Amino acid sequence: MSLRRLSLFCVNKRCFCLKANRLCNRRLGDPENRGDFQPGVNFDTLGSWNNRLNLELHLEQSIKSGRPIPRIQFTDVGHATLLGRRKTNEDRMCISRLSNRVMMFAIFDGHSGSVAAQFAAMNLPGHIRFWLNRCDMKRALKHAFLEFDNRLSWYLNRLNISCGTTATVCILKDNQFLYVAHIGDSLAVLNRKGSVVRLTREHSPDNPAERERIESKGGRIVSSSVGGGRVQGRLAMSRCFGDPELKFNGIIADPDIKHIRVKHGFDAFLVLATDGVSYALNDQEIIDIVSSCQHPNKAAQLVTDQALHFGSEDNSSALVVPLGAWGKYACAPQAIVYSFGKTVIGNRY
């Protein structure tokens, strides 16, 4: 080796050592313990996810995006439903693979019977799959919702049945692009960095824009005994599938659609739940309950159990989809403080 090359090698080696020393002396936050600091480099700060579920690496998308992307498996998705204090369970859930790149997670809350919710769980994936091959995702979801509603209304009229259902549909494309299409009062929330990201809004007749549309179509908003508005004194929501006799009164199936990119280094899980859960638990309580569990299936069971425990009389259903940061923001040793002022110690399942 020449003297010039040797000197350059020594200079480069010295610069590398100095950078390494500065990096090791830096005190970095530990996302596993939320606030604790430790010297050196925490592996999770480099974009890796917690591996409590042993999530498989989606190699193709990881190479394209330049960051590790996990492959979400159906076996890792948690789901649970409880009858509550009702005679029948009108909630339905759907987990489906629409293509090699697209997964669907959906929850439906039926009213006046379970026919509409059951029909949606069985047939809505086919409508979405059909439109995915013909237009972009947002237009495909809108076309699928409207087309399916027409088919359901025809089916209900043929059976001479009056019923309907909410729909909260989450489409995960390439394990990193999330689309949420929603009608009704079910919910979808995301845990990002331990905080709540609400992905849906409740379609209530009390909303000024919804009220204006309904009244412009000749519909009436009647207050219930507990103060909430009801369309024609019957329906507690302004958008839903089914209820064909109320379509002339401003009830529509046009969904709100939201699109976000999943950040697997920060996003721990996605929760879909019916109003039987959201009636008794607020969004942060749902996030804290799920964070206290080690497996999504146990988390879904605990969410529905706690909803029943804190006064829900409706069917309670929850669907928990783990993402890359599952387990990173666990709050097991802490107490979950509920809005009622009651405290329940988190259980590690």
Report the CATH number that the domain containing residue 134 is assigned in CATH: 3.60.40.10
Whether 228 is covered by a domain: the verdict is: no
Residues facing 168 on adjacent strands: 107, 182
Judged against a pLDDT cut of 50, whether residue 56 lies above it is answered with: yes
Is residue 43 very low, low, confident or very high in pLDDT (cuts 50, 70, 90)?
A: very low
Domain extent, residue 290, equals 70-203+239-345
Q: Report the pLDDT value the prediction gives residue 334, as an integer from 0 to 100.
A: 53
Phi, psi of 219 (to 5 degrees): -80, 160
Do 334 and 294 belong to one domain?
Answer: yes
Do 111 and 256 share a domain, yes or no? yes
24 and 126 share a domain? no
In a domain, 294, yes or no: yes
Residues 6+ apart with CB under 8 A from 10: none
- Is the confidence at residue 294, as pLDDT, over 60? yes
128 and 28, same structural domain? no
Same domain assignment for residues 9 and 129: no
Percent of the chain residues past pLDDT 90, beyond the cut: 70
On the CB side of 291, CA atoms within 13 Å amount to 29
- Which pTM value belongs to this model? 0.83
- One domain, residues 74 and 32: no
The DSSP bridge partners found for residue 106 are 94, 169
Q: Is 26 in the same domain as 120? A: no
Give the pLDDT of residue 81: 97
Q: Please give the backbone phi and psi of residue 231, each rounded to the nearest 5 degrees, phi first.
A: -70, 125
C-alpha span between 290 and 332 (Å, rounded):
10
In the predicted structure, residue 4 carries a pLDDT above the cut 90: no
- 94 and 119 in contact (C-beta within 8 Å)? no
Any alpha helices (H) in 191-318, and if so which ranges?
208-216, 275-278, 283-291, 296-309
Residues forming beta bridges with residue 188, ordered by sequence position: 272
Mean pLDDT, all residues of the chain:
84
In a domain, 12, yes or no: yes
- Summarize pLDDT for 248-281 with one digit per residue, the tens: 999 999 999 999 999 998 999 999 999 999 999 9
Between CA 182 and CA 254 the distance in angstroms is 9
How far apart CA 79 and CA 70 sit, in angstroms, is: 20
Asked, for residue 287, whether it belongs to a domain, the answer is yes
Does 269 share its domain with 179? yes
Q: CA dihedral in degrees (82, 324, 268, 24; nearest 10)? A: 150
93 and 78 Cβ atoms separated by less than 8 Å: no
- The position carrying tokens 């749902």 is 286
185 plus 328 within the same structural domain: yes
Here the tokens at position 270 are 């996605």
Which backbone phi and psi does 15 adopt, to 5 degrees? -60, -40
Q: What is the domain count for the chain?
A: 2
Query: Does 21 lie in the same domain as 167?
Result: no
Beta strand pairing call for 335-337 and 316-322: unpaired
Whether 113 has a pLDDT exceeding 50, the answer reads yes
Residues 259, 142, single domain; the answer is: yes
The answer to whether position 20 is within a domain reads yes
186: pLDDT strictly greater than 60:
yes
319: in domain: yes
Residue 177 forms part of a structural domain: yes
Residue 140 shares a structural domain with residue 257: yes
Has residue 65 been placed in a domain?
no
Report how far residue 153's alpha carbon sits from residue 144's, in angstroms, rounded to the nearest whole number.
14
